[in-house]
Structure 1
Amino acid sequence: MVKPQEDFLSVLNARSQDIFRKIVERYLETGAPVGSRDLSRMLQMGLSPASVRNVMADLEDLGLIAAPHTSAGRAPTQEGLRFFVDAMLEVGAVDERERQRIARSIEGQQRGQVEDVLTEASQLLSGLSQGAGVVIASKADMVLRHIEFVRLDATRAMAILVGEDGQVENRIMDVPPGLTASTLTQAGNYLARHVVGRTLAEARMALSAAREEQRAELDELTQKLVEAGIATMGQASLNATPTVIVRGRANLINDTMASEELLRMRQLFDELESKDGLLELLGDAEKAQGVRIFIGSENKLFSLSGSSVILSPYKDANDRIVGVLGVIGPTRLNYARIVPVVDYTANVISAMMARKRQA
């Protein structure tokens, strides 16, 4: 049974906490279990290997460390890592050089589409962490900045929806016969008055509430085109599935992996591509006040691969959480370094979103 973190703190004296911290820090640094003799040399309190073994036995009884396979050393368990992250992790500030690199890389994409910015963020996080950078972005709440119709042929037109973040949605739609260029312009202008500055869902509600106004202001043909435009916005919203961007997959796969480990990692990437479980992660992000850390089986999307993932939400120009970004890696990630990097990157993305709206 998992114990609350305060229970562990209440039963671990200063010596036990120090030994546990050394085991975790060495494991995070090397990925290898630690033996009592090595620990005895690392400790400043002058304990013999026998005394260290007694403390390690107590930590093992608590479920905080275990012997992987037949090793004589001990490594932290998933529960032990969770206790360390929640109760003992000391997170510092982002190194100034890394801050400049993050800001420079993201701001260099500011004039491009939002997806270009998010791709750059994913690549950047991969390089800084030596893990895989991941961005999960929701399209459902696009705030509209512009809408227009472009005729394709006698029976079809394209509705172009442009979001305040630069996102563009194009939808092909059937149009009534006999449409003129002025009708397309009139319908586009009418929709623009009601939808600019609103999300797709808000725009549909506003247009539905203005049906009487439509009848008084628009001729029958233009009304039909406006109705088709409303339906198109509904289709864009319903079909809006999360965008997932993963860079640095090769960092998580190496030649020393057992075949079952490779299979689990590849299955994780397949699940990310199929977007299974992503909406749940986005939902978690909306409740989060900052960085979230999932270790091993704590999140079902990453449980099979045994990975850890560090995620932070980012916001749009209206201060709404619209996605998460972060790092996927082995459970021995350098949490103290990567947590502030992920948090800072999310803040830079949110600030950039706000500037794009003002531009």
Structure 2
Amino acid sequence: MHPTGPFSHLSESRAIAELNDRSREIFRQIVESYLMTGEPVGSRHLSRILPMTLSPASIRNVMADLEAAGLIFAPHTSAGRLPTETGLRFFVDAMMEIGDVTSEERSRIEAQMRAAASGHTLETALAEASALLSGVSRGAGVVVTSKSNARLRHIEFVRLDPTRALVVLVSEDGSVENRLLDLPAGLPAGALVEAGNFLNARIQGKTLGDIKREIQTRREDMERELDVLTARLVEAGLATTVGPADSRQLIVRGQANLLDDLKAAEDLERIRLLFSDLETQTDVIDLLSRAEGGEGVRIFIGSENKLFSLSGSSMIAAPFRDGSQKIVGVLGVIGPTRLNYARIVPMVDYTAKVISRILERGR
């Protein structure tokens, strides 16, 4: 597991790279205190908690250097300091000691995910994963996945006129999705029923993606069973239903957690802005989709992403895969920049792996 993010400041700043042990320890204490309390830390408090003996005056000198390096800042007129977004990124990438998921937590995650998936839909399991991640963080649990991951019960082609038909998809959870399909010229009258029967004999408990891959690998079987135009209808119907971006869905759980532990009026305004961000589903889906681009966990902090430029929020996310090792979605946590990264990163990573194993085994 290697959490990554778009941190470019580190290589550009020799001042950051050359921090000595004393400066790093003071910086670590400032960041860890912020992640725990959200409050600025002053030199007198630091002198009491540091593992080394330093006077408040010496600490203030170090804090001045850290501020000059862009790692900390003084909010308003406070004598204390908080980490900047650059400072948080440096801490996460270079200093944070990531914890591990305990055996008890692993068992609980496995049990919850399998109970949600067994006898229910994939969406139920993903919603449970989102709720679980919300529960271990101060943030909202989020999942984005493709509707083509839904397991099907029935498919039907309904002719609307000589040139168009409706593809009706019924999922195991009873949800129905309709897509328009242009019909090949000269299609025989019984081709729609024949195409539907051919697919219904193969779709039980499979996703659209599964069916599409199976048809592609068994094209010769299909061409032996169906005439050319009906075979084209089957392929066209699947191409219509296995859609691109418009078929992606967002599941969010635990927004109310974001209202807990507010420190000031500006916190409430920040959370209001974050709620507004979460309502803009397309932008959230786009951001989560960026986590599909690499292995393991991705971390986005504050204004590194335009979506959070106003609310100053962070996101920790990891992709999950199906039985063919294809990435089919992303899950994670969105919340304030003072998320407990060291705890949430391994939880997100492990939950994504559990979901992947469930998909690999077909639940």
Which residue does 1:339 correspond to in 2? 345
Amino acid at match of 1:114: L
Deviation of 1:97 after TM superposition, in Å, equals 2.3
Deviation of 1:279 after TM superposition, in Å, equals 3.4
User: How many Å separate the matches in 2 of 1:202 and 1:276?
Assistant: 28
User: How many Å separate the matches in 2 of 1:42 and 1:301?
Assistant: 37
1:131 corresponds to which of 120, 133, 139: 139
User: How many Å separate the matches in 1 of 2:65 and 2:123?
Assistant: 50
| Residue range with higher mean Cα deviation, 74-83 or 166-175 | 166-175
Amino acid at match of 2:50: L
Which residue does 2:123 correspond to in 1? 115
Which residue does 2:32 correspond to in 1? 25
State whether structure 2 residue 77 is matched by structure 1 residue 76. Answer: no
Higher relative contact order (CA 8 A, sep 6+): 2
Amino acid at match of 2:124: D
1:298 corresponds to which of 304, 315, 322: 304
1:199 corresponds to which of 195, 205, 209: 209
1:44 corresponds to which of 23, 48, 51: 51
What is the SS of the residue equivalent to 1:238? Answer: coil
Q: Are 2:47 and 2:56, in contact at CA under 8 Å, matched by a contact in 1?
A: yes
What is the SS of the residue equivalent to 1:310? Answer: strand
User: How many Å separate the matches in 2 of 1:167 and 1:298?
Assistant: 41
Aligned residues: 344
| Residue range with higher mean Cα deviation, 50-59 or 303-312 | 303-312
1:104 corresponds to which of 101, 106, 111: 111
Give the alignment's TM-score, normalised by structure 2. Answer: 0.80
Q: Are 1:161 and 1:168, in contact at CA under 8 Å, matched by a contact in 2?
A: yes
Which residue does 1:326 correspond to in 2? 332
User: How many Å separate the matches in 1 of 2:321 and 2:152?
Assistant: 17
Q: Against the structure 1 CA distance between its residues 315 and 57, is the aligned structure 2 distance closer, same or farther, given a 3 Å change threshold?
A: same
Amino acid at match of 1:122: S
State whether structure 2 residue 72 is matched by structure 1 residue 65. Answer: yes
Q: Are 1:143 and 1:199, in contact at CA under 8 Å, matched by a contact in 2?
A: no
Superposed CA RMSD in Å reads: 3.8
Q: Against the structure 1 CA distance between its residues 205 and 217, is the aligned structure 2 distance closer, same or farther, given a 3 Å change threshold?
A: closer
Which residue does 2:4 correspond to in 1? none
Which residue does 2:241 correspond to in 1? 236
Amino acid at match of 2:348: V
Deviations 1:151-199 (A, max 9, x none): 7999977544769xx997643668999966xx66643454579998983
Deviation of 1:13 after TM superposition, in Å, equals 0.6
Q: Are 1:171 and 1:232, in contact at CA under 8 Å, matched by a contact in 2?
A: no
| Residue range with higher mean Cα deviation, 63-72 or 31-40 | 63-72
2:292 corresponds to which of 286, 294, 300: 286
Q: Against the structure 1 CA distance between its residues 257 and 205, is the aligned structure 2 distance closer, same or farther, given a 3 Å change threshold?
A: farther
Deviation of 1:34 after TM superposition, in Å, equals 0.2
Gaps of 5+ in 1: none
User: How many Å separate the matches in 1 of 2:215 and 2:227?
Assistant: 21
State whether structure 2 residue 359 is matched by structure 1 residue 349. Answer: no
What is the SS of the residue equivalent to 1:319? Answer: coil
State whether structure 2 residue 276 is matched by structure 1 residue 267. Answer: yes
Deviation of 1:303 after TM superposition, in Å, equals 2.7
Calculate percent identity across the aligned residue pairs.
45
Amino acid at match of 2:136: L
What is the SS of the residue equivalent to 2:89? Answer: helix
Give the alignment's TM-score, normalised by structure 1. Answer: 0.81
User: How many Å separate the matches in 2 of 1:237 and 1:345?
Assistant: 26
Q: Against the structure 1 CA distance between its residues 353 and 167, is the aligned structure 2 distance closer, same or farther, given a 3 Å change threshold?
A: farther
Amino acid at match of 1:278: I
Deviations 1:260-301 (A, max 9, x none): 424412211211x3x22523531x223211101111011222
Gaps of 5+ in 2: 1-7
Amino acid at match of 1:199: G
